[in-house]
Amino acid sequence: MTIHVPSRRVLLAGLAAFALVCSLLLPSLSQAQAPLQPKRGGTLQAIVQPEPPVLTNAFNTSFPIGVVATNVFDGLITFDEQQRPQPSLATSWTISEDGKTVTFKLRQGVKWHDGQEFTSADVQFSALEIWKKIHPRGRNTFAAIQAVDTPDKYTVVFRLAHPSLVIFSSLNANEGQILPRHLYQGTDILKNPYNLKPVGTGPFRFKQWQKGQYIVLERNPDYWDAGKPYLDRLVFRVIPDASSRAAALETGDAQYAPFDQVPLSDVKRIAALPGLAVSLDGYAWQSAYVFLEFNLRNPVLQNLKVRQAIAHAIDKQALIDTVWYGLGKPATGPIPSSLKAFYTADGVPQYHFDVARAEKLLDEAGYPRKANGVRFKLNQEYQNFHEAFKNNAEFIRQALKRVGIDVEIRNRDIAGHLKAVYTDHDFDINTGRWVPTLDPEVGSFRHYWSKSIAPGVAWTNASNYSNPRFDQLIEAIRVEPDVKKRTGLFHQFQRLAETDLPVIPLIEQANFTVYSKAVHGLSKAPDGALSSLKNVWLDR
């Protein structure tokens, strides 16, 4: 028997990561006391970065949009801390015995922010015209919906082509936003002016957007959840510089900052400050991972040995230690280990860090080093959400340089990145963050399904990867009503994804929120970081 002993570096990195995670959990544990009574009023100063391009998730699911928009819009359901669906705009639902009919009873007396009544017609319009047609993930998630009936103003019936277990994971305010039919019907949805001045049914109303500076939402006095929200106002400040964001939190100019808004090198120090807390709660719904995607339109990258070599050239643990400061773990495939109902590493090919193996594969692929030591050149696009993603791109550049691949990093804002990758397909490798969600059918398929090749639509299959066998597997998962059989198919999905390797899942990401200890009521639900702040109050 051979026993593999971890290196001292790996052991120390693991202990450091464990200590950091424990320190981030301590605020939550220390606050497990008798609940305080909420106080009304006040303005919460929040940070959103980068600045969202629009204020609805209808056709762009970028997290900065969700941070703001879920305060304006509602979904049919929400989730509790045990990841179970709870009523929101829908008060109840029933599913037929054959699993092909889902009936929702809607909340009565709900008003849009412009005073119009919310009805079943709004749900029908959103499901058929938005979720199924232009939503990046919804095109797949809600594909089973063939028709939406509205027998009366407060009843909605989804008619499904087949049982679909995935639908209920995506009916929350972030993933299944209900938009007002009376403002969107008959318009170009992508260019509708209400994408920038949204009208929803949520706890806060849109007030003002000063581009490059801040977004202001005000309390909705007519909100259906009586007594909520507690706050009078939300101000989402745009602060591009990471050090300035940290300073704003430390001075009290900002009190709430989800999605890793301070430099990772500062997290441990900030967590120890008396007036601030750091929490890992509210991100389970996403189960995000950091990835590297290949553009298979490039003949060099069509060679599987080249893709395998690049995978072997990247030290995932060193990437976590140096770029992500221990916040994460090496990914084994496109389904993170946190999704225990679907995850497996059994039989999934792994590409452990091995520079010699990478060099050998590149030689075998027909790309020997030239006189200058370079085999070939690539460009790299990356999602410029914050400094860590830029550092992630630089780490990959240096890793590939060691094996003779010269990589040029392209620095763009998010809008420029999305256009280059998803519209122009002007990239060789693309790195960033991917979100499978609670049910990986929602998010994981988009990288691998040929039907997700959708030019101009963000967060879809940009690699141009297409494998009929993979398509058949994905389509089998989508219609399988048996939970155990569906899990088995997901295991096959992970094995085939890592065999063909159009994408390298690099690390399972650990997101965090920094907030003032004067802030109470933050959601610990799996989608808490992308849900409304209606329960939040300030101890002033």
Please calculate the CA angle 274-531-225 and round it to the nearest 5 degrees.
105
Q: Report the side by side order of strands in the sheet with 376-382.
A: 328-330, 503-509, 289-294, 429-434, 376-382, 405-409
Please give the average pLDDT of every successive group of 10 residues along the chain, which has 540 residues: 33 41 47 75 97 94 94 96 91 95 98 98 98 88 95 98 91 96 97 98 98 98 97 98 95 97 92 95 90 98 98 98 93 93 96 98 98 98 91 98 98 93 97 92 92 90 97 93 93 98 96 96 94 95
pLDDT at 338: 85
DSSP H helical ranges for 299-346: 304-313, 316-322
The CATH fold of domain 70-193: Dipeptide-binding Protein; domain 1 (3.90.76)
List the domain boundaries for the chain.
70-193, 204-284+512-538, 286-509
Nearest to 525 by CA among 78, 66, 81, 29: 81
Q: Please give the CATH architecture assigned to the domain spanning 204-284+512-538.
A: 3-Layer(aba) Sandwich (3.40)
| 160 Rama sector, left if φ>0, alpha if ψ -120 to 50, beta otherwise | beta
pLDDT at 33: 55
pLDDT at 297: 98
Q: How far apart are the C-alpha atoms of 16 and 388, rounded to whole Å?
A: 18
pLDDT at 162: 92
**Three-state DSSP class for residue 351:** coil
pLDDT at 24: 52
Looking at this protein, which amino acid is placed at residue 24?
L
pLDDT at 7: 39
User: Which contiguous run of DSSP H or E holds residue 19?
Assistant: helix 8-30
pLDDT at 18: 39
Q: Strands, E, within 163-283: which ranges?
A: 204-210, 214-219, 233-237, 256-257, 276-279
pLDDT at 443: 87
The CATH fold of domain 286-509: Dipeptide-binding Protein; domain 3 (3.10.105)
pLDDT at 139: 80
Interhelix angle 355-364/304-313, rounded to 10 degrees, is 160
Predicted TM-score of the model (pTM): 0.77
